[in-house]
Structure 1
Amino acid sequence: MILTDREIKNSIASGLISISPQPPADAYASTTVDLTLDPTLRLFKEQAPGLATAVDPGMPNYKATELLKKITDPLQIPESGWDLPPRHLVLGWTRERLELPPHGRLAARVEGKSSLARVGLAVHVTAPTIHAGFKGTIQLEIINHGHLPIRLRPGLAVCQLVFEQTLGMPDKSYEGQFLGQQAT
């Protein structure tokens, strides 16, 4: 069951959802709430000509977070914005921190905004699920599928959350490698 704007606000008021800072009134649509872009991005390093490298997620002790710090560089988006070139992937975060206590029986999905998608901007590759028990900012896999650069600005309403009620409480809270993540 998807929560309406009224139920999202009620769940925030009762502590079943925590979004900090709290979204303004105009961030809510009938069944979503917008989140904004943090000024920190991570840009993938350019590969040297002749260098053949492959990511091997099947390797023992593979940790995506550790690998990403080695193959990306941080960028602080200036207030004037930064242009994401066509066919490029960058990592970003929401400015807002989300908490979904496991007893709240809620999970969420991060989705793009149609107004941005229509010019080619996507905010996740295949990772929309925000599990019950999650705490942290949401990392976004931002891709420009369009033909023109897209200007990203700090505070841009870049994505929206859809909250769903779970059937029962999970046996365990989210314990994955992205628990507590924040822009770095």
Structure 2
Amino acid sequence: MILTDREIRNSLEAGQFDILPRPPIDHYSSTTVDLTLSPVLRIYKTPPQGMKQAVDPGQPGFNATRLINSLTDRQDIDPSNGFDLDRGVLILGWTNETVDLKENCRVAARVEGKSSLARVGLGIHVTAPIIHTGFKAPIQLEIINHGPLPICLRRGMRICQLVFEQTLGMPDRAYKGQFLGQTAS
């Protein structure tokens, strides 16, 4: 069951889950709430010419965060000019907001792109839309430009929307994965 805007706000007020800072009223639609883009991005480095690289997630001890940090550089979005995302380029970003889906809240969420951005070619998450019960952190976004022109990303712009869904019961195991408590860095 998907929560409506009223139920999302009521759940926030009742402390069932949290979004900090709280989104203003104009960030809600009938069944979603918009989140905004943090000023921090991770930009993939261009490998040296002639170097062949491959990611092997099946290796024992594989750690996505450690690998991503070694393959990317941190870049802050320029407050005046924004960041022009070229076509065909994948970067990582975060929401300004921290989402806290408490272990006993009986709610999970899905992060989705915004149709207005998708129609110019901006993809916000590649294949990982689920925000699990027990998750507490800003949401990391896999941002790619599928469009024909560069797209200017600005700090604080509405970048994605959350859909909250009531779960049937509470999980035996709340989210304890490697992205719990992640930060924009």
TM-score with structure 1 length normalisation? 0.99
How far apart are residue 162 of structure 1 and its match? 0.1
Which residue does 2:8 correspond to in 1?
8
Aligned to 2:123: 122
- Following superposition, the deviation at residue 49 of structure 1 comes to 1.1
Q: Which amino acid aligns with 1:166?
A: T
- Unaligned ranges ≥5, structure 1: none
Structure 2 stretches lacking a partner, 5+ long:
none
**Structure 1, residues 65-107: CA drift from partner, whole Å, max 9, x if none?**
0000000000000112110000000000000000001211000
Work out the CA distance in 1 between the residues paired with 2:151 and 2:17. Answer: 32
Encode CA deviations 1:124-166: one digit per residue, 9 max, x unaligned: 0000000000000000000000010000000010000000000
- Give the aligned partner of residue 112 of structure 1: 113
Q: Give 1:19 shift.
A: 0.4
Distance of 1:100 and 1:47 partners within structure 2: 38
Cα-to-partner distance string for 1:36-83 (whole Å, 9 max, x where unaligned): 000000000001111001000000000000000000000000112110
Matched with 2:153 is 152
1:78 equivalenced with 2:83 (yes/no)? no
Deviation at 1:172, TM superposition (A): 1.2
Aligned position for 1:93: 94
Instruction: Tell me, yes or no, if structure 1 residue 18 matches structure 2 residue 15.
Output: no
Aligned-partner residue type, residue 132 of structure 1: T
Q: What's the counterpart of residue 65 of structure 1? A: 65
Q: TM-score, normalising length from structure 2?
A: 0.99
2:83 & 2:176 partners in 1: Cα distance? Answer: 34
Aligned to 1:31: 31
Match of 2:134 in 1: 133
Q: Secondary structure at the match of 2:38?
A: strand
Q: Which amino acid aligns with 2:59?
A: M
Distance 1:163 1:78 in 2: 32
AA paired with 2:159?
V
Could you tell me which amino acid in structure 2 is paired with residue 90 of structure 1? I
Q: Percent identity?
A: 62
Amino acid at match of 2:48: A
Q: Where does residue 46 of structure 1 map in the other structure? A: 46
Letter of the aligned partner of 2:165 in structure 1?
A: E
Aligned residues: 184
Whole-Å separation in 1 of the counterparts to 2:104 and 2:151? 40
Please tell me the root mean square deviation across aligned C-alpha atoms, in Å. 0.5
Q: In structure 2, what is the Cα distance between the partners aligned to 1:17 and 1:33?
A: 13
